[in-house]
Amino acid sequence: MPTGRPAHGLTDREREVLVLIAQGKTSKEIADELRIALRTVACHRYRVMEKLSARNSVELTLYAIRAGLVQP
């Protein structure tokens, strides 16, 4: 998992989803907040995980903290 680097290659929406995941939001909460379909959230999550070589939400959260996207 990359560390300490900005979230290069992520779209604005993927970055939004990453931040919300790191804040502990569920996929349903993310979908409601961004007014998008649950399936769309799943697609964004998958793409973010692929781009960042993350295996789970914990690694996504650690990445977001290290990249300065969220505060611990």
CA-wise closest residue to 9 among 72, 70, 63, 65: 63
**Residue in the structure block whose two tokens are 């961004």:** 34
pLDDT band of residue 72 (cuts 50, 70, 90) is confident
Q: Please report the pLDDT score of residue 5 as a whole number.
A: 47
CATH number where 27 lies: 1.10.10.10
Q: According to the model, what pLDDT value does residue 2 have? A: 46
Chain position carrying tokens 């650690």: 62
Give yes or no for residue 3 having a pLDDT over 50: no
Residue 23: give the domain boundaries: 12-66
Distance between CA atoms of residues 65 and 37, nearest Å = 26
Asked if residue 5 is part of any domain, the answer here is no
User: pLDDT: is 43 or 8 the higher one?
Assistant: 43
For residue range 17-61, list pLDDT tens digits in order: 999 999 999 999 999 999 999 999 999 999 999 999 999 999 999
Please give the model's pTM, rounded to 2 decimal places: 0.87
Yes or no: say if 34 and 17 are a contact pair by the CB < 8 Å rule.
yes
Amino acid at residue number 15? R
